[in-house]
Each structure stands twice: as structure tokens, then as C-alpha cells.
Chains A and B, each alone.
Chain A
């Protein structure tokens, strides 16, 4: 009888425990722009840490637009959003975000991460990753030497030296406004409606001169990334201007060496809580988890992303630390709401110059007109 009683008590206890655990905790609503691989790791991490998250993916290309629409509508509002650092000024200017709790601000953020998360000396985000442009070079075999300095001149000299019969175009660079920034800055310009003048035309001229010389002309399909990955795998690229987001696609990390690039833009990914969030505390709790030491270390280990906390940086793989060092000399883009909107016209103009449809001066003039209109539209 004692055994029977004990069994009944045990079964009742288990049933009660199961009943208790069967009630699901409220899910934290999270809108993110992780790529598919990052999404898998995120899902696995949340499952392991017992955090129930109702996550929804927003394609990066439309992320700024969709997120702004959702937050302005105020309905169906998430508790936390992962955004690109360039989107922050627009959301802050629109009064769509809440500031970061002091507990989060007190973490051991790296200076670069802390700068990303702040605007006008106020904290609006928890930095999740630091990125930007840098130069990766192929350690071969055969290994290519590092450029003499971070300057574009030395980079191009090294690229010329690395050119061989089977490596006709040793420099990897995209026809994209973001990649244009170092050349613009080298000419004394900046990515801002007011700073786009002759310096931009000169920069365009210099950049366009690379294609067909040390850089491969853009593919007709317009899809550069698959082409770049294939060429890297074949050791056809000696120096590749890209960002840490590319590392996880490159396979053998032992082949990769990282160098800084003069005038490179630095950015990153931020976690923000919208003002319309129903459970902002839950949002910050999730942000705290995602920027915790084990999670940052795990993302860094798997994707070689650059962690935002000093402790995580110390434990990050060598490639992540090298990327961080290379990005320390990079500079953030102007922190204006209009900045992310500038690339649309700039990209098209660059493409027109590089394929020879327009002269740099024509393209710059068109961009200036477009940006003026854009500034007008964006004005309240």
C-alpha cells in the first residue's frame, strides 16, 4: 500500500508539473533582419535558453520601409526590432523608439558599439553587431601580401601586383553606393546631400577606372554576391573589399586575412524597442539576452561577426577580433534620417557610369537633383 500511495503521489506531482509547464509563457514579438543561417542559430538559441519568441523575418532590402510603416501604423507592433544602424536616425526623429534602460547601458560595450547605439549622446539601441567595410585578402596558397597601408593607393598597387594570368581581376569591389564611400572620402567628400560635388565626380572616375582594370566588370544579371563567392573559392580574388557579414559564406577561415581600408564606412546592427511595443520590458529582456556574453560569443564563433561587448570580443575567434581591429579606423556614415535613402539614386548613377551610359559629371548632377527632391520630400 505504501508503494501504491507513493506512485499515486508521484503521478499526481508529475501531472501537476506537466500542467504547470504546459501553460506557455507570453511570446516576445521580435521583428528581425537576420539572414537564413543567423535565423537558424537564433531559433536554436532561444529554444535552448527557454525564451519564447514570436519572431518574424523582414527582408533586409525592405526592412527600413516595412519597419517604418509598421511603427507609424502602431498596430501589430513588435516588442523588439533588429535594424541597421543607418535606420536609427529616421526612427528616432519620428519618435518611434524608446530609450535604453540604464541597466543595459551599463554593459561593457566596445566604444564603436556604444557610438552606434547613441544618437545625440542618448542611448536608443542595444548594439548587436559591428560591421563596415574592410579588406580581406587570400592567404592562398599562394598567399598575397598585405597592402602597404590602408590607403586606396596602396590597395590598388597591391592589386596590380597580384594580377596574374589566371587572376585577371584580383580586386573584389561592388558597384554600390556603400562601396563608393571610401573613394568619395578619399577625394574629400562625404555621403550627404550637401557634400556631393566635384569630389564625387572624381571619386566616380577613379572607381569606374577600376572595372576592367583590376576589378571585374559587374555581371549583367546584377547579382554580384554569387559571382564574388565563386571567384573567391577559385582564388581569383586577392583583395576583397567587403564586410564581416561575408565571412560565414567563405568556408575556410584560415584563408582569410583582414586589413583596414582607409575611409571605410562603419556600421552595425542594433536592437531597438518601438514606442508602440506592448511589452517593452520583454523587448529589452530579449535584447539583453541577444547581447549577452554567451550569445554574442556563439554568433561570433559561428559567423565570425564582431561582438559588441568587450568580454565577448575577448573570447571571439581571431577573425572577429581582426575585423574589429580593422574597423576601429572606419567612420560612421552621417547620422541623418536621409542617409539610408541616398543609396538608391547613387547606386543607379554608379552603375550608369561604370557601364559607360553616363559620364561621372552627368551622373553626379542627376544624383544631386534626386537628393534635393529627396530632401524636400523628407522634410516635415
Chain B
């Protein structure tokens, strides 16, 4: 028995677990998808935004370089047409410088590298005829300023190399342009050359970034994003050291100019992915709240679902234990409610069956009593008649005052009383025999007019009631015939009426005995009540008053068979009899319900 509550609790937790999992799974999946998608979307946007930025800046830088290249190339071609005139050469160099403010130095070298005109150039520059038409060199840091040299060949009409133009471009403009770019706070743009040397950074003065740009001649091997950018095909993104770097390699593959640059947009991850982080936090909060609500609702519904089941279990336990009286209704949602109703119905039927079995058992017992009573009464009745007859005969011969007369009167009186008891036994036995016959012949074999029977019974009782100063009242509104023999109903009413009168007399109450008959609710039976104003029947006796030989009267005043006979007659007619308090809780009221007779009377 102790395992059952545990099983119910286990079921509750299982239901709660199932509901929790059912709530948690979609929450976790949707939450995870939201977080991942948000991160991807933000990363994509950051990547696209940064790429667009550095593409534009890279294109601008490249365009500036190419413009410079074309200008120098044009100047070289122009000079190659008349290389011998020093004045023209000076004029040309001056014009180039004035047209290109970013030119820091401008020189013309002989094919063997000897300076011919203009500014001195670093000796390491490769200005030979094998430089494939010229190139854009890597960055040099001169006086703290980044400088790049353009090496442009000047060839004659026949294609012969006659000189080399070397233009040193001051790349401070790069720093100016990227520092003017609108970038997020904390972000920076870095331009490096093919060796990783820093050309410019939008945060030259700060130490922010994956590495501080100050103090580093080359970021290659220091900043992994720079390494990636220099080794990259074109462009890409790298997250490392808490920074998101988007890079674009500006190197022009197989370009005769051979520019080797890379431009990077770098931003702290915490700033770049702030929106994703906020989305993650909001998703976690909302998901957590949704989960808590789901769990709360799950707990509520689990309890609500399992409580009727627990009741059903207790109910079933009670049924199994044999306690099936007045079971509380089990209510629950849906199928559980239906199951409760079915179990209630089952309990009711079991109760009915038990009652029926009890009734059958009692009927058998009563039938046995009846048979035994009939035999005993039959055996006793004849000698008792003889005793009574001789006692009365002997009394007739004794004058008043005779010393034997008192004894003879006592014998006659007790014999008379014994005869009365025997008569009751015979009557009880007769009633059972008749009841059994009626059951055998099917219910409803006889019927009567209850109003007529009540009026006739009232006439019979009236003399006795008058002696006990009891008022008799009749209240008959029923008109339908009832399915019971008239003499049986009369016997019932007389019994009940006499009991009532005796009870009021013993209590010295001059009350009213009311006989009433009215249609029972539903119209298929007639309710007949016998109500008195006596002391009533104690609640603890109400279930036993219909048992044979049970009496509350003083010893010698009752046989305890009257109400048993009444109940038997009523039950035989298919009706019921019960006792309760009278109106206003005063006295007793016997309620007899007799089915109405089917068909015309």
C-alpha cells in the first residue's frame, strides 16, 4: 500500500520532467539558433562593413599611386624623346613636383644607376634594365615618414633603356586619409607594405590594437592578421587575440608595378560583436524567463493532472479495502474525469452488489427465521391454546378474591401475551412466504388505491389514537394506484401508526399523527409518510430499526418484528422505506416509496 503514493509522486515528476523537456527543447533550440544566427549575421555585417571600408580606402590609395605612376611614366616618355637638354629636364622635373605634392624626391638615373638629374636616391634601389618596365617598391621610413619609391624606365623610340625615373612618394597622405575615415570608436585601419612594414595607422599615437604599432618596424610575425593579409589571396577576416581583423591584400599579381600592400580594419571583438552579445544576453534572459514560466506551468499542470489520479488511486484503494460508502466524486480534465466517473460508477455498482448480497443474506436469514418461527409457532400455538383455555376455564370457576384467581389471571395474561408473540411470528412467516411468492410471480402482481387504503387505515387506528389522545391527520394528494396489495399497505400503515401512537404515549406527548400520500419526484412512485411528534428515532438506531427483533420498547411491550415485516412488504413491492426526523427535527417520519402500478387500475 505504501508504494502507491510513491508511484503517484513518481508520475508527477515524470509528467513534470516530460513537460519540462518539451518546454526546454524548443526554448534551447530556438535560443541557440537565435544566438548563433545573430552572431553570424553580426559577423557578416561587420565583415562586409569593414571590407567595404577598406576596399574603398584601398582603391583610393591604389588610384593615387597609379595616378602618380602614370604621371611619372608620362614624364619619362616625354624626357626620353629629348634626353639631352638639361633645361628641359629641370623644367620637367619641376612640373612633375608641382603637379604631385606627394612627391618627396624626384630623380633621373642613367641605366647604370648614376644620378643624372634631381635628388639623390638610396643605393639599394634596383634600377637596372631588368626591372620589367619599373615597379613600386616597398616602404622606406625616412625621417620617421613612410616613403615609397616609384621606379619608371625611360626608353627611347627603339625601346632602348636610356634612363630611369625614381620618384619618392611621401605616404603621409595615406595616414591622413585613413585617419579621416569614419570608423567605430576603438577600431583602427592599418596599411602595411609587402614586408609588413607599417605604412600608416589611424591610431598611430595609441597603443590599442592587437599590437602597438609604435615601435614596430614590421608587423609581420607580430600581428597574425598582418601575416594572414600578406599571405592572402585577396581578402578575408581573422579573429585573433580578442580582435577582429578584416584585411585586403592590395598586391597586384603579375602587375609590372608590383605593388605589395595590405590594408587592415581591426576592431576589438567586444565592440565588433556588441550587438551579437546584446542579442545573446536578451535571448538568454527571455529564454530563461520563458523556461521558468514553462516549468511553472508544467508543475501546475503536472499537479493538476496527477491530483485526480492520486484521488483515483486512493479511491481504488478504498474500494479494494471494502470502504465503498458514499465515495467523493473525482473530477478531472478530459479522460481523467471520465475515468473518475467510471470508477465512481464502478464503486456504486460494487456497493449496490454488496448491498444486494447483504440483502440476500439477510433475506435468507429472515426467511430461515420465518420458517423456524412458523414451525415453532405452530408447535407452540396448540399447547398454548390449551393452557390459555384451561386457565380461562379455571378462572370462570373462581369467584373474585379467590386465592388462586391471581395466579390463574397471571397464567392467562402471560399465555395471551405468548399467543400474541406467536401470532407475530406466524404473521412474519406468512409475509415472507407471500413475498417469496410475489417475487416468483414478478413484481406488480397486485395494486391498490393509496388514498383509499390511507382513509381505511385511519378509520382502523382512530379508536386506539383516541385512547392515547393522539390527533390523526390525513394529507392525501396522490391519485395513482401503487403496486402493492391493499392489505399489505394497510398492514404497513397500521404498524407504523401503532408504533407512532405508542411512542407518543410513552413520552406522554399528545401530538398529531399524520398519514400522507403524494406523488414522488419523477412521477413513477408514490411517497407515503407516517409522521409523529414523539421522541423520534436516534440516528444510531435508524439503520437497525428494520432488523428483526430489534426494539426500543420496554421489555415485553414489543416483539421487534413489526418494522421488519413492514420493510419486507415494502421491499417485496419494489419500494423503499427509511426513517428520519420529522418536520422541524421534531418526532419521527417514516417515508415509504411504492412504485406506481403500470397500466390502468
Enumerate chain A interface residues (CB-CB to B < 8 A).
Answer: 35-37, 39-40, 43, 54-62, 65-66, 69, 76, 340-345, 347-353, 357-358, 362-363, 365-367, 369-370, 373-374, 377
Q: 1/0 per residue B132-147: CB within 8 Å of A?
A: 1101000000000000
For residue B112, which residues in chain A have a CB less than 8 angstroms away from its CB? 373, 377
- How far, in whole Å, are A377 and B109 apart by their CA atoms in the complex? 15
Contacts A59-B258, A76-B195 given: A352-B157 contact, CB under 8 Å? yes
Cβ contacts under 8 Å, B258 to chain A = 59, 61-62
In the complex, whether B233 has a CB less than 8 A from a CB of chain A is yes
Chain B positions 190-231 with a Cβ under 8 Å from a chain A Cβ: 194-195, 218, 220-221, 227, 230-231
Tell which of B111, B161, B195 touches A348, judged by Cβ atoms closer than 8 Å.
B161
Contacts of B217-273 to chain A: CB distance below 8 A? 218, 220-221, 227, 230-234, 249, 251-256, 258-260
Report the separation of the CA atoms of residues A62 and B253 in the bound assembly, to the nearest whole angstrom.
9
Chain A: CB-nearest residue to B257: A61
Most buried by A among B130, B230, B254: B130
Q: How far is the CA of A59 from the CA of B249 in the complex (A)?
A: 11
Interface presence of B78 (CB below 8 A): no
A56 adjacent to B161 (CB under 8 Å): no
Which residues of B have CB within 8 Å of A352? 155, 157-159
Instruction: Say yes or no for B129: interface residue by CB 8 A criterion.
Output: yes
Is there contact, CB below 8 Å, between B255 and A374?
Answer: no
Besides A62-B135, A69-B126, 16 other A-B contacts (C-beta < 8 A): A36-B234, A39-B231, A56-B227, A61-B135, A62-B258, A62-B260, A65-B131, A344-B133, A347-B159, A348-B159, A350-B159, A352-B159, A358-B157, A362-B158, A363-B158, A366-B160
The reply to whether B254 and A61 contact each other, CB–CB distance below 8 Å, is yes
Given the known interface contacts A57-B230, A59-B253, A76-B195, the answer about A65 and B135 at a Cβ–Cβ threshold of 8 Å is: yes
Scoring B135, B160, B254 by chain A CB atoms within 10 A of each residue's CB, the highest score goes to B160
6 nearest interchain CB pairs? A366-B160, A348-B159, A341-B130, A62-B258, A358-B158, A352-B159
CA distance A335 to B564 in the complex (A): 139
Q: Which of A39, A76, A348 contacts B155 (CB 8 A)?
A: A348
Chain A residues with Cβ below 8 Å from B83 are: none
Closest to B161 in A: A370
User: 29 A-B residue contacts at CB 8 Å?
Assistant: A36-B253, A39-B231, A43-B233, A54-B221, A54-B231, A55-B231, A56-B220, A56-B231, A59-B254, A59-B259, A62-B135, A76-B218, A341-B129, A342-B130, A345-B129, A345-B159, A345-B160, A347-B159, A349-B159, A350-B159, A352-B159, A357-B158, A358-B158, A362-B158, A363-B159, A366-B158, A370-B129, A373-B111, A377-B112
A-chain residues with CB within 8 Å of residue B179 when the two chains form the complex: none
Q: Which residue of B lies closest to A27 (CB)?
A: B227
Report which B residues bind A (CB closer than 8 A).
111-112, 126, 128-133, 135, 153, 155-161, 194-195, 218, 220-221, 227, 230-234, 249, 251-256, 258-260
B132 to chain A: which residues have CB within 8 Å?
A: 61-62, 343-344, 347
- Chain A residues with CB below 8 A from B195, complex form: 76
From known contacts A65-B126, A341-B128, A343-B132, infer whether A59 and B159 are also in contact, taking CB-CB under 8 Å: no
Given A59-B253, A373-B111, verify A367-B130 contact (CB < 8 Å): no
Given A357-B158, A370-B161, also A57-B129 (CB < 8 A): no
Are B231 and A366 neighbours in the complex by a CB distance under 8 Å? no
Contacts of B232 in A (CB 8 A): 39, 57
> Distance (Å) between the CB of B80 and the closest chain A CB?
11
Please, which residues of chain B bring their CB within 8 A of the CB of A60? 253-254
Are B161 and A345 in contact (CB-based, < 8 A)? yes
A374 to B127, CA, bound (A): 11
Task: Give the CA-CA distance A370 to B112 in the complex, in Å.
Answer: 10
Bound together, the chains give a CA A127 to CA B218 distance in angstroms of 32
Q: Which residues of A contact B161 (CB under 8 A)?
A: 344-345, 348, 370
What CA separation (Å) do A369 and B112 show in the bound complex? 12
Nearest residue in A to B126 (C-beta to C-beta)? A65
Check A58/B260 contact, CB under 8 A, given A35-B253, A343-B132: yes
**How far is the CB of A332 from the nearest CB of chain B, in Å?**
19
Q: How far apart are the CA atoms of A362 and B256 in the complex, in Å?
A: 25
CB of B327 to closest CB in A, whole Å: 45
Given A59-B253, A62-B260, A373-B111, do A36 and B233 touch, yes or no (CB 8 Å)? yes
The answer to whether B130 and A340 have CB atoms under 8 Å apart is: yes
A362 / chain B contacts, CB cutoff of 8 Å: 158
Query: A214 to chain B: closest CB distance in Å?
Result: 23
- Chain B residues whose CB sits within 8 angstroms of the CB of A340 once the complex forms: 130
Please judge, given known A-B contacts A36-B233, A62-B135, A377-B112, whether A357 and B254 are in contact too, CB under 8 Å: no
Give B195's nearest chain A residue, CB to CB: A76
Give every chain A residue within 8 A of B227 (Cβ-Cβ).
Answer: 54, 56
A74 to chain B, nearest CB (A): 14
Residues of chain B within 8 A of A59, CB atoms compared: 251-255, 258-260
A352 to B132 Cα, complex, angstroms: 15
Q: How far is the CA of A39 from the CA of B259 in the complex (A)?
A: 18
Cα–Cα distance between A43 and B233 once the two chains are bound (Å): 9
Would you give the shortest CB distance from B235 to chain A, in whole angstroms? 11
Given A54-B227, A60-B254, A358-B159, A40 and B126 contact (CB-CB distance below 8 Å) = no
Between B112, B231, B255, the greatest number of chain A beta carbons within 10 A of the residue's beta carbon is seen for: B231
How many angstroms between the C-alpha atoms of A366 and B129 in the bound complex? 12
A366 to B162: give the CA distance in the assembly, Å.
10
Residues of A within 8 A of B126 (CB): 65, 69
B173 shortest CB reach to chain A, Å: 23
Are A374 and B130 in touch, CB under 8 angstroms?
yes
Residues of B within 8 A of A373 (CB): 111-112, 129
Determine if B234 and A349 form an interchain contact, defined as CB atoms under 8 angstroms apart: no
The CA of A347 and the CA of B255, in the complex, are separated in Å by 15
Q: Tell me the nearest residue of chain A to B136, going by C-beta.
A: A62
B residues near A366, Cβ cutoff 8 Å: 156, 158-160
The closest CB in chain A to the CB of B256 belongs to: A61
Contact B128–A377 (Cβ < 8 Å): yes
Give the residues in chain B near A61, CB-CB below 8 Å.
132, 135, 254-256, 258
Q: Measured between C-beta atoms, what is the minimum distance from B161 to chain A in Å?
A: 6
Give Cα A54 to B227, complex, Å. Answer: 7
Residue of A nearest to B135 (CB): A62
**Cβ of B218: which chain A residues have Cβ within 8 Å of it?**
76
Q: Are B260 and A349 in contact (CB under 8 A)?
A: no
Chain A residue at minimal CB-CB distance from B110 = A373
Contacts of B221 in A (CB 8 A): 54, 76
- A363 neighbours in B (Cβ, 8 Å): 158-159
Q: Are B111 and A370 in contact (CB under 8 A)?
A: yes
CA distance A61 to B132 in the complex (A): 8
Q: Closest Cβ of chain A: how far from B249's Cβ, in Å?
A: 7
Residues of chain A lying within 8 A (CB to CB) of residue B158 = 349, 352, 357-358, 362-363, 365-366
Give chain A nearest CB distance to B109 CB in angstroms.
Answer: 13
B253 in contact with A40 (CB, 8 Å) = no
Please name all residues of chain B whose beta carbon is closer than 8 Å to the beta carbon of A37 when the two chains form the complex.
Answer: 233
Q: How far is the CA of A69 from the CA of B194 in the complex (A)?
A: 13
| Chain A residues closer than 8 Å to B251, beta-carbon distance | 57, 59
Give, as a whole number of angstroms, the nearest-CB distance from B307 to chain A: 34
The smallest C-beta distance from A277 to any residue of chain B, in angstroms, reads 15
Assuming the contacts A62-B258, A76-B195, A344-B133, asked whether A57 and B249 have C-beta atoms less than 8 A apart, the reply is yes
Q: Which residues of A contact B133 (CB under 8 A)?
A: 344, 347-348
Contacts of A367 in B (CB 8 A): 159-160
B525 vs chain A, min Cβ distance (A): 70
Rounded to whole angstroms, the CA-CA distance of A363 and B159 in the bound complex is 7
Q: How far is the CA of A347 from the CA of B132 in the complex (A)?
A: 9
Residue of B nearest to A348 (CB): B159
Contact for A57 among B231, B256, B259, CB less than 8 A: B231
Closest partner residue, chain B, to A65 (CB atom): B126
Docked complex Cα distance between A151 and B40 (Å): 59
- A350 to B135 Cα, complex, angstroms: 20
Instruction: Tell me if B130 and A344 are in contact (CB < 8 A).
Output: yes
B129 contacts across to A, CB distance below 8 A: 341, 344-345, 370, 373-374
CA distance A226 to B337 in the complex (A): 82
